[in-house]
A and B are shown apart, each in its own frame.
Chain A
């Protein structure tokens, strides 16, 4: 199905927002002004956006420690996220969560997650709720090739099949679980989707560096899972991580020229631009305008985050319980 001009511009903008959000963090973190651990999503934008462009706020996602892209793609506020990562009181989580715990439940974003593999069981719960409600909504568990080795992920896949949860396991294979290669750590035929298949799920595979591959694959997956009674499904997207596991990671595990090569040949934004301009759907000028807008939006977000009020010592005690 052909996307409209507006849809194409929106998808590009969403990917570009993630890219520039992360590129800017990569620069600002080096100044030492941003506290804590940060894991950048750069390189995987086509997956988050190709999945989330199909979703409404009633569809839920559960994310990972590398969660900024999923949050932004699901509609979390750019300013609120930047403020959160800068630890401001105006942050999306009032400075209580930081990079690894950004959430916006009203938008269907049930949280990034600092524990690798913890998200899948939570997504199963949301998928059971979606099944009970019977309105064709779904939940999505984003997991990496690292999380695919966690027992929680196995339990979640089996539980989803047994309970016929309306749940989709999206595996983003960026070839690295922290600092260890996928070739080493994933034993099953170097193939995550086949694991999911062994649990009794219908599975798909796609190119996670190509927005259109992700988008069209997800259309099929969602058409299937939104049908009441069909139960869960899984999809594996092959993708790339442009930065290290965490900011500050010296990445000594990378091969010679690897980062330059993937930036050159596996960049979803470059691929998108080539594809839409080649087909005459959008012009370079259209995309350049988006680029400029996004850069300005990120600049504004950083300016606001730096100026935003800091949390106070009294805030430590707030929001542990609703009542106690």
Chain B
């Protein structure tokens, strides 16, 4: 095992997969950085440092620095994937799906289906997402509910460095298009990561990070840690929480959620997307449809309000689900009679 940051797990996994398979190519804005400047190539190596050094190691053919043209980046990833390459494209901020969604949604996601199953499209689209940086309404959003609703895409949301490693490797080796969402507030988080260069985590298998019989908490990303903190606090009072890290929202490990709710009878879903047509709403509805008889209380969701992400520290803090808000929701489902 090696101890590394979430961002380092991204970079090292890409490097290992590029080493293993010459068809893996990286493209995106500033993934090299410094092109056409006095400072020269690799002045940056990606604004998240998730491609630092790749250009020097693998060259310009395989580490493709692009103009700020998100549609063309996503489209080029689609074209590369259709013609034998395995592109790992970086969309600098998940919010930028707004300017490139056609290529993701109408092209990449649908090729296999529209073409009658006669092609594969092994592209990985990496995106930094989430609030916590005071980056305001156009650089802080959670968009996984939108992408999860698109047939043809797989949506992956690692919450730890080890999961980055195992899930990103699976994503790069997967023959379907994969959206890989990296929470920007987690880039600096450290954790133990397996050394095995074939370490992979299969999609659609959630991770139970805390075990208990009284309530089920489902989450992913930055908020997972908040949920774990709540579970640890309640454990001291003798209240047991199952905390489920979804890992992937498409495919969704419904079984892990339903199995847990069958025991606990109580569900809290904690997610960073806005509440309407959301992941939390989707999971609550799924449980209501499939495990109604097991429920001892109405499922609850903890999400931001139906507003854009605000800028000021006080406002962003108020916007995001917090440990107290999650704890209150858990106590509410526990006290339901």
Contacts and interface: CB of A to CB of B under 8 A. Distances in A.
Interface stretch (B42-50, B68-76, B277-285): B68-76
A324 B71 CA distance: 27
B89 to A, nearest CB: 9
Contacts of B182: none
Most central of A110, A125, A151, A155 by chain B CB within 10 Å: A125
B113 A132 contact: no
A181 interface: no
B114 A155 contact: no
Given A155-B71, A159-B69, A321-B154, A122 B82 contact: yes
A303 B196 CA distance: 58
Given A118-B102, A155-B72, A163-B66, A321 B112 contact: yes
A129 B61 CA distance: 9
Contacts of B152: 320-321
B119 A105 contact: yes
Nearest to A161: B67
A91 B116 CA distance: 9
A129 B119 contact: no
Interface string A91-126: 111111100010111100011011100101111111
Q: Interface on chain B toward A: helix, strand, loop, or mixed SS?
A: mixed
Contact of A122 (B75, B116, B174, B251): B75
Contacts of A124: 72, 75-76, 79
Contacts of B73: 121, 159
Given A105-B82, A125-B87, A151-B71, A320 B112 contact: yes
A97 B78 contact: no
Contacts of A113: 107
Given A125-B81, A322-B176, A159 B114 contact: no
B72 A129 contact: no
B181 interface: no
B175 interface: yes
A92 B115 CA distance: 8
Contact of A320 (B71, B107, B113): B113
Interface in B89-142: 102-103, 106-107, 111-120
A103 B69 CA distance: 26
B326 interface: no
A103 B102 contact: no
B64 to A, nearest CB: 6
Contacts of A320: 112-113, 151-152
Contact of A322 (B71, B85, B112): B112
Contact of B79 (A96, A128, A155): A128
A67 to B, nearest CB: 12
A91 B115 CA distance: 10
B107 A122 contact: yes
B115 A126 contact: no
Interface string A281-322: 000000000000000000000000000000000000011111
Given A94-B116, A121-B78, 6 more contacts: A105-B115, A115-B107, A126-B83, A132-B61, A319-B112, A320-B151
14 contacts: A93-B115, A97-B115, A111-B114, A122-B103, A124-B72, A124-B75, A127-B79, A128-B27, A128-B80, A132-B62, A162-B66, A319-B116, A320-B113, A320-B151
Shortest Cβ-Cβ A-B pairs, 9 listed = A125-B79, A121-B75, A319-B117, A93-B116, A94-B116, A125-B76, A155-B72, A155-B69, A101-B114
